[in-house]
Chain A
Amino acid sequence: MCRFVGYLGSDILIADLISRPANSLIRQSYKARERSEPLNGDGFGVGWYAPDITREPCVFTSITPAWSNRNFINLAEHTRSGSFFSHIRAASPGMGVSEVNCHPFRNGSLLWMHNGTVEGFQAIKRRLRNSLPDHIYDAIEGTTDSEHAFALFLKLLGEKKEQTSAADLAEGLVNTIWQLEEWAREAEILKPSVCNFAVTDGRAIASVRYVSDPQIEPISLYYSKRGKFQCCEGRSEIVECCAEESGVIIASERLTDKSGDWKRVAPNHVLTVDTHLNVKVRLIPEV
């Protein structure tokens, strides 16, 4: 079911979230705490923004497990960014292990990642693809439900793609979920989808913790806001800091052991982080 982290704030080392915390993303690749199957070894990816060079993020993906890729760890120890996504993958059956299927997915200035499964994807795949304009259809490189959900998001975001606010990203996520649910109903797919999506343009983040049936516990998703990560004498925590140094983290699992560092994203809510690092959470209305 994968795991991910996302960050927006002052520049930090990518390693501050990927490899240094007690429950870092790399640790979660072999020993995830909050899923029954602890292995997430079917590849990984990291996408980060360097706005002084270009608005488009750089993306590095690999099909090796994150824990054994020395290039990933080395890169994370030498790259600073104020906005990045990283994802470790546990491939769903039928979704091939290849670099083009590794998250985060990129389109223009946007990055997208997914933790979960669009249930019955094969039954709605052709309909989804047929709904896409050519330029979005042609940009699909892989075979996953996640990348196709991103393509649908891009279509629903429409003309706003080049100038997005946090609210635009959130609205696009909600519309994507509504459309997927409508198609699932029409295809008589009874099993619930689990869709923890996250999207960013490098200046704002929107993310959802979603499951079709509200009685079922969705996959975990947390956020930590307006602190900075610090590792001191082997103990990692989020510490209070001045506004210039602060940032907001979203993460499938708590990266540090101090539970007070983290809040759960409420089930079936959409979370936004705007350019000023204000965090808002609102309910996804039922259709």
Chain B
Amino acid sequence: MAIDLVCGMEVNDYASGYSVIYAGERYLFCSEGCLAEFERHPQEYMSPPVSCCPGRSEEDGSSV
């Protein structure tokens, strides 16, 4: 199971085709939109922003 760096969702489908190799590592995405977004702003997603309230649980990324 991997985490989509753009939306935070869990992804596990290597066959989906939504993957990219960046700095020697393969990253998986949930959709074409998230893959394209990563390719536009890779630096932003490689160093995720610091949470404004560290220690609190991250709710986003789970499915509704």
Do B37 and A280 have beta carbons less than 8 Å apart? no
Question: B40, B44, B59, B62 — which one has the most chain A CB atoms within 10 A of its CB?
Answer: B59
Name B30-51 residues within 8 Å CB distance of A.
30-34, 36-37, 40-41, 44, 49-50
Given the known A-B contacts A170-B64, A280-B64, A281-B7, are A214 and B53 also in contact in the complex, defined by CB atoms under 8 Å? no
Chain A residues within CB distance 8 Å of chain B: 167, 170, 211, 214-215, 217-218, 224-227, 238-241, 246, 259-264, 266-272, 278-283
The residue that A226 contacts in the complex, of B49, B50, B52, with Cβ under 8 A, is B52
Which residues of chain B come closer than 8 Å to A260, judged between CB atoms? 49-50, 52
Do B52 and A282 have beta carbons less than 8 Å apart? no
Number of A-B contacts (CB under 8 A): 87
Do A240 and B53 have beta carbons less than 8 Å apart? yes
With the chains together, A226 CA to B51 CA distance in Å? 9
The residue that B56 contacts in the complex, of A226, A263, A266, A271, with Cβ under 8 A, is A226
With both beta carbons as reference points, the residue of chain B lying nearest to A266 in the complex is identified as B7
B interface, over-half SS? loop
Do B7 and A217 have beta carbons less than 8 Å apart? no
With the chains together, A155 CA to B31 CA distance in Å? 29
The 8 closest A-B pairs by CB, nearest first: A266-B7, A267-B33, A227-B52, A214-B33, A260-B49, A214-B32, A268-B33, A260-B50
Which residues of chain B come closer than 8 Å to A271, judged between CB atoms? 60
B9 lies within 8 A of chain A by Cβ: yes
Q: How many residues of B contact A (CB 8 A)?
A: 27
Do B8 and A281 have beta carbons less than 8 Å apart? yes
Do B36 and A261 have beta carbons less than 8 Å apart? no
B28 lies within 8 A of chain A by Cβ: no
Other 13 A-B pairs with CB < 8 A, given A278-B59, A280-B61, A281-B8 = A214-B33, A226-B53, A227-B52, A238-B52, A240-B53, A266-B8, A269-B7, A269-B33, A280-B59, A280-B62, A281-B9, A281-B60, A282-B63
The residue that B34 contacts in the complex, of A215, A225, A267, with Cβ under 8 A, is A267
Do A280 and B60 have beta carbons less than 8 Å apart? yes
Which residues of chain B come closer than 8 Å to A217, judged between CB atoms? 36-37, 40
Do B36 and A240 have beta carbons less than 8 Å apart? no
Do A282 and B33 have beta carbons less than 8 Å apart? no
Subset of 14 A-B contacts with CB under 8 Å: A226-B53, A240-B53, A260-B49, A260-B50, A263-B60, A266-B37, A267-B6, A268-B31, A268-B33, A272-B64, A278-B59, A280-B61, A281-B9, A282-B64
Which residues of chain A come closer than 8 Å to B61, judged between CB atoms? 280-281
B24 lies within 8 A of chain A by Cβ: no
Do A240 and B49 have beta carbons less than 8 Å apart? no
The smallest beta-carbon distance between A106 and chain B, in angstroms, is 25
With the chains together, A239 CA to B64 CA distance in Å? 28
Do A240 and B52 have beta carbons less than 8 Å apart? yes
